[in-house]
Structure 1
Amino acid sequence: MRKLALPFVATTCLALAALGCKSSAPAPSAEKPAPEPTGPRVYATNEVSGDLTIIDIGTAQTIANVHLGKRPRGIHASADGKQLYIALSGTPIAGPGVDESTLPPPDHSADGIAVFDLAVRKIVRTIPGGSDPENFDLSKDGKKLFISNEDISSVSIIDVDSGTVEKSFKIGSEPEGVRVSPDGKEVWVTSEGTGEISVLDPEKGKITATIKVGHRPRNVAFMPDGKTAYVNAENDGNVVVVDVKSHKMTKTITLGQAGVIKPMYVLLSPDASKLYVSTGRGKQVFAIDTKDNKIAGSVEVGARPWGMTLSPDGKTLFTANGPSNDVSFVDLASFTVVKKAKAKGGPWGLVALP
């Protein structure tokens, strides 16, 4: 068979094109994006960048970073798990020893508790939270927010439905951690500057007790029976045990050298058999056996771990590592770091949901 000359082939193709003929080869299709993972997720507030990082737990994949506003810190889920409450603050970041007179003035228009809808991934409402809200907890019925107002040394009670500040109470300086007791009758608020816990009775609407607990307490964890509470004392390298009924310290658990090991956050395991303690510059998480209040182990998790949370199945502990902008996954069976996921800028608080 005689081969066609190339000029003939080219001429024929041009003629077919002029007649409107189309190539039989299929057009390349647009590449479809990979489906988003649908498993349980961990949500991290980023204090520096002002974002919420959404991480898939199964793959340790960062799904999204959603901008929230200024300085998001405290975070809690609503009772139905459909929304997140997130504390926002327009007060500039100032660590210990920083001369606040050198900082820009606070932008109190940015203060509030953002209500973040997980289905649409955006803020649908902002509830007034008083000045410089840092952390908070919800009442057992979900109708009230109890908020620490760091810059004015107070705790505020907020009605969620109306979005109004019902009452505010002066307490010790630099309040941070807020925790409602298991029976809902007391709200404990840590004051870093004065080294104490203020006990608020929400029913009576007054501060009923003050408990000295050491230097720079940040958080509280109540045992499920409500008889015992654990509080970190950051600058002492300790965790203190408090009898809830008498409002008195009963024991001090030393984790390490003060200034090197700096307990930041306390969190109980689902069965309350272990207390987990992040240690900031100490880079570790300690496990304390709550039966005898002795150290059961420790693991290095990353740079300055702060906030923590547990996976919905209780098998994995997550830590927010601020300086390295990541979240560590700690397998609790082996007590080892098995994965890390990237956050945006200065992860602070964590919540995990199915």
Structure 2
Amino acid sequence: MNGITFDKTYRENTLIKVLGITSLTILILAGVACAAPFAYVTNLGDYNQRGYYHDTDYNGTVPTPSVAVIDTATNNVTARVPLGGGWPVGVAVNPAGTKLYVADSPMVVSTVYVIDIATNTVSAKVNLGSSYPSGVTVNPAGTRVYVTKQRDNTDISVINTATNTLMAPIIVGPSTYSIAFTPDGKKIYATNTFNNTIYAIDAATNKITANISVGDSPYEGVVTPDGKKVYVPNYDSNTVSVIDTATDTVITTVPVGSLPSRVAVTSDGNKVYVANNNTVSVIDTAADTVIATVPVGTSSHEIVISPDGNKVYLGNFYNKSVTVINTKTNTITARVPVGEWPMGIAVTPDGKKVYVANGESDNVSVIDTDTDTVTATVNAGIYPTRVVIVPFMDSDMTAQSTGATSSSTEDIGVEETNLSSEEINVAELNNSNKNNSESDTVNSSNGNESSKNNSTPGFGLLGSLTCMYGVRKFKKK
């Protein structure tokens, strides 16, 4: 009898333990998957130092460049990550969504700041020496960071992300503006505006394999999702060069509008949208011809396409607006008034919101994509110029899609979890929930910033721990 009772109790306890571990794992994945993404905005200084660059409210302090962290669920600034001196000119997030890389352009020494997204703190600084960065890009695997440079600098800096140290640079011509990777990460295409060249680079060796001549003043390039073509707008030639990645040669040159500078490709790879001075040219990638020309505002600065490929959002630098284009009809469906000098645009992974960094207005406009209207204005800082969104951590993401091995349960050590009531302070959990709810009532005059809300991506772990605590309590009964 005692043996039967023991066996029954053992099986019950084992079942409870398995259910508890399963619940913990599911809730961790669900919590991470459901966590709202965060918008990271580079700016020249905190909003309360605004008087240094504007005529009002001068307080005599020199602004500190920083990165404002906006919770897209509440549109509150939940953290500000201070940087050193100089203007933040480039920002990129690694594929795993764990690190942010910000390059500044000071007078003497340039730095790449590595920000740990879990804590919103600078975890490392990489000294680039006397250089003038123009952009920063993370490779698809997340193992290297590439920093392009302006002016007389003749190299691309390469950072090993495992050690945050410089590797051997890639020697190129001066004023190499931007780089783009093929989706498999094997090839790099670097745009040089000074000598009208695109460098094809072997990503494994960081060696240049081809110098491709294009039009005058190429600005940036975009690679199609299938990796077969690169589209490069030539600012002073009013053309777009189309490069075959198999041969690294220009296979055609497409005439577009005046002064093309930005380019974006739809997720299906069927269309390329080119931002010209006052129009948008739509290129059919099958025929490499312009199939539509859409009149928009002047001096378009940024162009992005929604994740579903249905809409294009274009920032009009001097018109203080964002033009919305329907990709099915290639017609304008809305002109959304935003702040002055919209310089950076990013769309949330679910496509529901667009964040626009307005440089001269010192704020960020939040556009609801269902209505294409501004639903919030966030005081992110002085002269916000760039914005990136840390995406949802989907539970079915693979190493191929993220560039990093998923370790949601491995890092936590679920199989060895042995939490007790003493290790989890329920009062602290309740207090944390209270703080999160209080953040929704922050007065917008304080810059939409909550001093109580320190939420970070992946906050669903809190619910998982609470569940595990309940399982342990149930076992004791």
Same fold (TM over 0.5): yes
2:269 corresponds in structure 1 to: 226
Root-mean-square deviation (CA, aligned residues, Å) is 3.5
Task: State the alpha-carbon separation in 2 of the partners of residues 285 and 330 from structure 1.
Answer: 9
> Who wins on radius of gyration, i.e. which is larger?
1
- Please state how far the C-alpha of 1:299 moved relative to its aligned partner: 1.2
Among candidates 296, 317, 336, match of residue 374 of structure 2: 336
Do 2:187 and 2:201's aligned partners in 1 also have CA atoms closer than 8 Å? yes
2:351 corresponds in structure 1 to: 314
Task: State the alpha-carbon separation in 1 of the partners of residues 158 and 221 from structure 2.
Answer: 17
Do 1:268 and 1:275's aligned partners in 2 also have CA atoms closer than 8 Å? yes
Among candidates 128, 150, 160, match of residue 193 of structure 2: 150
Task: State the alpha-carbon separation in 1 of the partners of residues 190 and 201 from structure 2.
Answer: 8
Identical aligned residues as a percent: 26
2:280 corresponds in structure 1 to: 239
2:38 corresponds in structure 1 to: 41
1:108 corresponds in structure 2 to: 153
Question: Is residue 326 of structure 2 the alignment partner of residue 289 of structure 1?
Answer: yes
Do 1:53 and 1:344's aligned partners in 2 also have CA atoms closer than 8 Å? no
TM-score (norm. length: structure 2): 0.54
Q: Which has the higher helix share?
A: 2
Q: Deviations over 1:211-263 (max 9, x none)?
A: 111111122222333222211111xx11111121222112111125xxxx332
1:139 corresponds in structure 2 to: 182
Correspondence list, 1:110-125, <5 A: 112-113=156-157, 115=159, 124-125=165-166
Question: Equivalent residue of 2:318, what SS?
Answer: helix
Do 1:309 and 1:352's aligned partners in 2 also have CA atoms closer than 8 Å? yes
2:50 corresponds in structure 1 to: none
2:336 corresponds in structure 1 to: 299
Do 2:340 and 2:360's aligned partners in 1 also have CA atoms closer than 8 Å? yes
Correspondence list, 1:262-277, <5 A: 262-277=299-314
Per mean C-alpha deviation after superposition, the further-off stretch among 198-207 and 75-84 is: 75-84
1:66 corresponds in structure 2 to: 83
Give the direction of change, closer, same or farther, for the CA distance of 1:227–1:221 in structure 2 (3 Å limit): same
- Please state how far the C-alpha of 1:83 moved relative to its aligned partner: 4.7
1:15 corresponds in structure 2 to: none
Q: Which has the higher strand share?
A: 1
2:112 corresponds in structure 1 to: none
2:291 corresponds in structure 1 to: 250
Question: Equivalent residue of 1:175, what SS?
Answer: coil
Give the direction of change, closer, same or farther, for the CA distance of 1:167–1:344 in structure 2 (3 Å limit): farther
Ranked by relative contact order (alpha carbons within 8 Å, sequence separation 6 or more), the top structure is 2
> What is the count of residue pairs matched by the alignment?
294
Task: State the alpha-carbon separation in 1 of the partners of residues 92 and 276 from structure 2.
Answer: 23
- Please state how far the C-alpha of 1:145 moved relative to its aligned partner: 2.5
Q: For structure 2, which runs of at least 5 residues remain unmatched after alignment? A: 1-34, 46-62, 106-130, 135-149, 392-477
Q: Deviations over 1:152-172 (max 9, x none)?
A: 322223344433333332222
Do 2:43 and 2:68's aligned partners in 1 also have CA atoms closer than 8 Å? no
Give the direction of change, closer, same or farther, for the CA distance of 1:228–1:151 in structure 2 (3 Å limit): same
Task: State the alpha-carbon separation in 1 of the partners of residues 303 and 79 from structure 2.
Answer: 25
1:23 corresponds in structure 2 to: none
Q: For structure 1, which runs of at least 5 residues remain unmatched after alignment? A: 1-37, 94-104
Do 2:41 and 2:380's aligned partners in 1 also have CA atoms closer than 8 Å? no
Q: Deviations over 1:295-318 (max 9, x none)?
A: 111211111113311123322111
Do 2:68 and 2:77's aligned partners in 1 also have CA atoms closer than 8 Å? no
